[in-house]
């Protein structure tokens, strides 16, 4: 079991709240990492394996992600220990929201992460009687429908395109392999195809498909809509390979867009891509990052590459109490502009400092957070 006090360092967490409800069996945790730049904002996930340590790691990622795109919110994350397929999901979620009514929305605004849907965000708002309690609600309730719009995956591809150009690797014609074909992976694949790239591999928890000559992304999208994750075992395109093998196929750009901790030191030695773009949070271990750097493989960090979701969330935060929806074209234009610029800035800083993009990018984000902490008197005299 994680000792919560052992998680505290110079940046946070500022608050860890563990809650439970005997009748529903709800157990959950909120980690508010650092609010020097604004109120805590990050997704809420639901999984049987949620832990305090996991949520704390993700809350820290949010601190760097907000600072990296220079938007004025703080890092936070929440998690509910439950199966999102449970028939008691709504009761558990309502109990979780009630238990955090002292913190939400004054200190933390809930959002969507693994296991939660747009309707779940609406349930949180309903339970607390406050439109400001959560973002990510359905479009018909005035929300920014992240998954429907595919904002995170779109941003991953835009950041990848900018990084590839910086590395003199034209994305038009480049071979892209994606781990994950959910909300992020699918949207990224569609945008990669629009940018002229060839998607050679995709995967789900059921397995992976690989075709060196390229997969029909639209065809895969239709198959996924019909069969869910099982489409990879039913589809006739390409060669079926075991899950995880897609990380090692021959490609120019690799996008881990599913789970965290999937690229360790052993996997890093097998990767053939020239550029790794982190579509998921925390997919690459620090040792793996160093190995990839030694092999001359650039890695675009998660807090840079998948920040399209937080840019969209910033629009949603502004619109919580408004009668007007944010303009969708403006959201996409802002994601493209900010993520493309940030990708190049981080890669340039890594080259200048002769370090990894993770270290360089985090250094830039840290300085922004440190400046805010200094101005607010949160640092030692």
Residues noted as catalytic: 77
Pairing assessment for the beta strands 207-210 and 239-241 based on DSSP bridges:
antiparallel
3-state helix, strand, coil in the chain (%, to 5): 45, 15, 35
Q: Residue 365: how many CB atoms within 10 A of its CB?
A: 23
Query: What is d(CA 135, CA 128) in angstroms, rounded to the nearest whole number?
Result: 13
Checking phi first, is residue 204 left (phi over 0); if not, alpha (psi -120 to 50) or beta?
beta
Nearest 5 degrees, angle CA 91-CA 95-CA 99? Answer: 175
**And the tokens for 190?**
């569609």
**And the tokens for 339?**
């993520």
Alpha carbon 222 to chain centroid, angstroms: 24
* Three-state SS at 260: coil
Q: What are the residue ranges of helices labelled H in 209-285?
A: 217-227, 231-234, 265-268
End-to-end CA distance of the chain: 35
Q: Phi and psi (nearest 5°) for 83? A: -85, 120
Alpha carbon 99 to chain centroid, angstroms: 26
DSSP 284: B
| 98-118 burial code (b ≥16 CB/10 A, e <16) | ebbeebbbebbbbbbbbbbeb
**And the tokens for 29?**
């945790």
- Asked if the peptide bond before residue 55 counts as cis, ω within 30 degrees of 0, the response is no
Contact 292, 350 (CB under 8 A): no
Query: What is d(CA 258, CA 198) in angstroms, rounded to the nearest whole number?
Result: 20
The number of residues in the chain equals 381
DSSP 70: T
């Amino acid at each position: 079991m994680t000792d919560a006090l052992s998680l505290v360092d110079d940046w946070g967490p500022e608050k860890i709240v563990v809650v439970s409800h005997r009748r529903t069996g709800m157990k959950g945790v909120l980690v508010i990492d650092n609010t020097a730049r604004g109120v805590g904002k990050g997704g809420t996930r639901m999984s049987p394996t949620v832990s305090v340590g996991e949520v704390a790691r993700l809350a820290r990622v949010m601190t760097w992600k907000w600072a990296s795109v220079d938007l004025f919110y703080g890092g936070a994350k929440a998690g509910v220990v439950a199966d999102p397929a449970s028939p008691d999901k709504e009761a558990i979620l309502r109990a979780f929201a009630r238990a955090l009514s002292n913190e939400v929305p004054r200190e933390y605004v809930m959002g969507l992460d693994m296991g939660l849907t747009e309707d779940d965000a609406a349930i949180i708002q309903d339970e607390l009687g406050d439109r400001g309690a959560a973002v990510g609600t359905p479009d018909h309730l005035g929300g920014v429908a992240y998954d429907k719009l595919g904002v995170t995956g779109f941003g991953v591809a835009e950041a990848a395109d900018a990084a590839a150009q910086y590395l003199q690797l034209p994305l038009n014609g480049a071979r892209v392999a994606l781990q994950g074909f959910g909300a992020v992976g699918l949207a990224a694949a569609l945008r990669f195809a629009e940018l002229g790239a060839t998607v050679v591999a995709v995967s789900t928890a059921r397995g992976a498909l690989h075709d060196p000559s390229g997969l029909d992304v639209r065809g895969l999208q239709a198959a996924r809509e019909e069969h869910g994750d099982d489409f990879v075992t039913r589809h006739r395109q390409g060669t079926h390979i075991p899950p995880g093998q897609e990380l090692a196929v021959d490609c120019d750009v690799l996008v881990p867009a599913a789970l965290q901790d999937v690229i360790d030191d052993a996997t890093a030695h097998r990767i053939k891509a020239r550029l790794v773009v982190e579509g998921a949070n925390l997919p690459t271990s620090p040792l793996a990052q160093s190995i990839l750097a030694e092999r001359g493989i650039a890695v675009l960090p998660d807090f840079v590459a998948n920040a399209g979701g937080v840019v969209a969330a910033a629009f949603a935060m502004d619109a919580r109490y408004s009668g007007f929806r944010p303009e969708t074209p403006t959201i996409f234009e802002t994601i493209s502009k900010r993520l493309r610029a940030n990708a190049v800035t981080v890669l340039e800083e890594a080259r200048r400092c002769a370090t990894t993009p993770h270290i360089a990018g985090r250094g830039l984000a840290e300085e922004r957070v440190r400046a805010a902490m200094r101005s607010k008197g949160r640092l030692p005299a």
